[in-house]
Amino acid sequence: MQFIAGNDTLIARRGGETLRIEGWGRDSLRVRAVMYDDWTGNDWALTETPEETDCEVQTGRDGDGMPCAQIRNGRIMATVNFAGVISFFRDGALILREYYRSYGGTISRGSRCLKIVNREWKGCIGGSEYQLTVRFDANDGEKIFGMGQYQQPEMNLKGSLIELAQRNSQISVPFMVSSLGYGMLWNNPAVGSVMFANNRTEWIARSTRQMDYWITCADGPKEILRNYTGVTGRAPEFPENLMGLWQCKLRYRTQEEVLTVARQYQKEGIHIDQIVIDFFHWTLQGDWKFDKTYWPDPKAMVDELHSMGIRVIVSVWPSVDRKSENFGPMMEQGLLIRTERGAAQTYDYQGDCVEIDPFNLETRKYIWEVCKKNYYDFGIDGFWLDNSEPDYGVYDFENYRYCEGPALSCSNMYPQMFSRAFFEPMEAEKEETPVNLLRCGWAGSQKYGNVIWSGDVPSTFEAFREQLQAGLNMGLAGIPWWTTDIGGFMTDDVNDPDFRQLLIRWYQFAVYSAVLRMHGDRGPYDIPPLDDRDWGGGYLHTGQPNELWSYGEENYRIMRKYYDIRIAMHDYIKALYREAHENGSPLIRTMFYEFPEDEKCWEIQDQYMFGPDYLVAPIMYLNEFERDVYLPAGTWENVNNGETIQGGCTIHVNAPIDEIPVFRKK
């Protein structure tokens, strides 16, 4: 192993690999390696200028006379031994070490015959990329959180196999937070996986030209997230007039339907901050314009909604139907995803479609110019960038290619590039923060005005429970603007009393989350289409009504009650959004985020903190009207009855249908 020491950088070369470790922000190191002569030049998620570092680099020999080196930046230190194995230390204590079981020794000089190495490069046959595997020793008793959104009951990811790939309702944001006081970003948008097994951790990128990860250490998760968002970016200031109720359903089919709903809300004395116009308001996918048959005067509609203080957001998909007026020009100019084999098709819902390639700057310019002319210039305030993974007809990533390279090498960054097609020109046009709604994101997406929701999830209590852990882990991955479809997306029968109970419990939870948003595909589908065409805004089905008053008087009373609670918390919620902007803190937080010294808080996943003051214990089982709640040490007030309770204990509380347990820290 050959070592070269710089002022704040350590270079090591061995076996054709060049390894580079350097200080990158507060108590943090960036680690890169290539099997080429030079670096790729991609910073990927590490877009922000890091804070000044205070690095010390030393080279020398170990006790056995073998070459070794170390680099220290504040509280974090990395050592590299003669076999190229890296070990990381926080305040001198080992926190992470690469896994190496081969000839040439482990951390000591003892050889192994397993021939399993720490960084394994396997050339992709016929290409210039490698499949890269990076291995680390497992730490006993470690808990791992973050990594984005996965539809599973476990919040602690230790023992989980995680696919690093974007799908509808699955979001790969590869930043992990460890209970041992460190965080690590896998700074690579390649499709792959990570296994947090009990015997070792193994990261895999299926097609890449460079290893790149970033590691930081701190006393607790709040400081870890501050360091992480300091180098990947933080959410901008959230508009104050979007902190209340967003109204949506699948789907408002006409201009008059939208206005009728808005007028009724005004009559009821309920202010909605934003109304959402969902998919197939258009003529064809990829036309990106209103069907004039049902939306004859969008500007007049928007003007009336604005007069009520209601913003308007409209759905835009990345799919382009072959019959669309934009298909020919975009295909000719190379603005669509390419397939490696077979027909040029990537998506087949309601049409033979190819999706856009947002890695191409010209694609981003093209779609914005069309959407500006057909939406933004009418006064539309934001865009619902649905199917933003993108939602492939078949998730055969090896069959798709972008201008950036094979989809296998960069597809996880697709939703972020899609969002930038809208955020960047909108930001340039007006002073206020653009806010767009997306179904997916990646590391650093928080800086592009993305409200990310959890996708098309079932309307079940099981799915509800999964959304809580998903949202908490999204927050720990640096995504503070996160929401769900209240009641879940897919409902067979809105008249089912079990569904209505789920809806109320989900709504109560949503009041204590970043965005309060009504949405869902509500059956039964007994509403006839508006016309018999097989295209345009009239032919596709619509769901049942989904306004607050749509579910009976008693449920309406409960939702009105919790709506009032949300509005009364406006100043508090505003402060939470400000904190997200200033230090990266999410709005909904794991218990250990606020109480890292309380070991019990590291085990709890069925209650959470809404900011620093409110402890929320949602009801997530059918016919559950009481539950246990753990209160950390301190004084707490039950907001439902005003009772004062000393914490450090578990209490049993009632939860009738019109209440969920919420406690305020005093």
377 DSSP assignment? G
Q: Are 457 and 467 in contact (CB under 8 A)?
A: yes
What does the pLDDT read at residue 600?
A: 98
Same domain, yes or no, for 560 and 413?
yes
Q: For residue 239, how many other CB atoms are within 10 A of its CB?
A: 18
**Strand-pair partners of 161:** 195
Same domain, yes or no, for 549 and 427?
yes
Q: How far is CA 76 from CA 26, 94, 134, 136, 189, in A?
A: 9, 10, 20, 17, 25
pLDDT digits 0-9 by tens, 623-641: 999 999 999 999 999 999 9
Write out the E strands in 75-128. Answer: 76-80, 86-90, 93-97, 119-123
Considering the candidates 278, 386, 466, 485, report the single residue annotated as catalytic.
386
Query: Is 189 a member of any domain?
Result: yes
DSSP string, 560-590: HHHHHHHHHTHHHHHHHHHHHHHH---SEE-
Same domain, yes or no, for 550 and 650?
no
Phi-psi map region of 472: left, alpha, beta (phi>0 left; psi -120 to 50 alpha)? alpha
Is 381 one of the catalytic residues? no
What does the pLDDT read at residue 103?
A: 73
Is 386 one of the catalytic residues? yes
DSSP string, 600-618: GGGT--S-EEETTTEEE--
What does the pLDDT read at residue 583?
A: 98
What does the pLDDT read at residue 113?
A: 86
Q: Are 182 and 88 in contact (CB under 8 A)?
A: yes
**Strand-pair partners of 286:** none
Considering the candidates 98, 291, 355, 389, report the single residue annotated as catalytic.
389
Q: Which of 583, 616, 637 is the last residue of a domain?
A: 583
pLDDT digits 0-9 by tens, 18-51: 999 999 999 999 999 999 989 999 999 999 999 8
- Split into its structural domains, the chain has a count of 3
Nearest CA to 387 among 424, 423, 361, 418?
Answer: 418
Phi-psi map region of 550: left, alpha, beta (phi>0 left; psi -120 to 50 alpha)? alpha
CATH of the domain at 68: 2.60.40.1760
Q: For residue 493, how many other CB atoms are within 10 A of its CB?
A: 14
Geometric angle at alpha carbon 392, from 389 and 397, rounded to 5° = 90
Query: Is 328 a member of any domain?
Result: no
Residues in Cβ contact with 207 at an 8 Å cutoff, skipping those fewer than 6 apart: 124, 127, 129, 130, 131, 190, 191, 405, 406, 408, 409
* Helix and strand numbers, DSSP H then E, in the chain: 12, 41
CATH of the domain at 262: 3.20.20.80
Same domain, yes or no, for 421 and 542?
yes
DSSP string, 646-662: E-SEEEEEE--TT---E
Query: Is 52 a member of any domain?
Result: yes
Q: How far apart are CA 85 and CA 548, in angstroms?
A: 59
- pTM for this structure? 0.97
Query: Is 367 a member of any domain?
Result: no
What does the pLDDT read at residue 110?
A: 52
Q: How far is CA 216 from CA 224, 476, 647, in A?
A: 7, 14, 32
Give the chain's residues under pLDDT 70. 104-111
What does the pLDDT read at residue 208?
A: 98
Q: Alpha-carbon dihedral of residues 108, 112, 118, 120, nearest 10 degrees?
A: 150
Same domain, yes or no, for 203 and 288?
no
What's the helix, strand, coil split of the chain in %, to 5?
25, 30, 45
pLDDT digits 0-9 by tens, 260-312: 999 999 999 999 999 999 999 999 999 999 999 999 999 999 999 999 999 99
Same domain, yes or no, for 213 and 256?
no
Structural tokens at position 211: 């290893």
Q: Which of 184, 212, 232 is the last residue of a domain?
A: 232
Q: Which of 232, 264, 286 is the last residue of a domain?
A: 232
Same domain, yes or no, for 97 and 213?
yes
Phi-psi map region of 307: left, alpha, beta (phi>0 left; psi -120 to 50 alpha)? alpha
Same domain, yes or no, for 504 and 596?
no
Same domain, yes or no, for 542 and 628?
no
Considering the candidates 27, 278, 456, 521, report the single residue annotated as catalytic.
456
Query: Is 96 a member of any domain?
Result: yes
524, HSE (Cβ side, Cα atoms, 13 Å): 3
N-term to C-term CA, the chain: 57
Helix axes 570-583, 221-232, angle to 10 degrees: 70
Phi-psi map region of 423: left, alpha, beta (phi>0 left; psi -120 to 50 alpha)? alpha
What does the pLDDT read at residue 427?
A: 96
Query: Is 413 a member of any domain?
Result: yes
φ, ψ (nearest 5 deg) of residue 355: -95, 160
Cis before residue 528, ω within 30 degrees of 0? Answer: no
Query: Is 491 a member of any domain?
Result: yes
What does the pLDDT read at residue 104?
A: 60
Geometric angle at alpha carbon 192, from 189 and 195, rounded to 5° = 120
β-bridge pairing 171-178 and 182-186:
antiparallel
Is 456 one of the catalytic residues? yes
Same domain, yes or no, for 481 and 521?
yes
Nearest CA to 523 among 549, 491, 476?
Answer: 491
Q: Are 590 and 632 in contact (CB under 8 A)?
A: no
What does the pLDDT read at residue 105?
A: 52
Q: Which domain holds residue 452?
A: 240-316+378-392+406-583
Same domain, yes or no, for 307 and 211?
no
Query: Is 83 a member of any domain?
Result: yes
Q: How far apart are CA 159 and CA 150, in angstroms?
A: 14
Same domain, yes or no, for 136 and 65?
yes
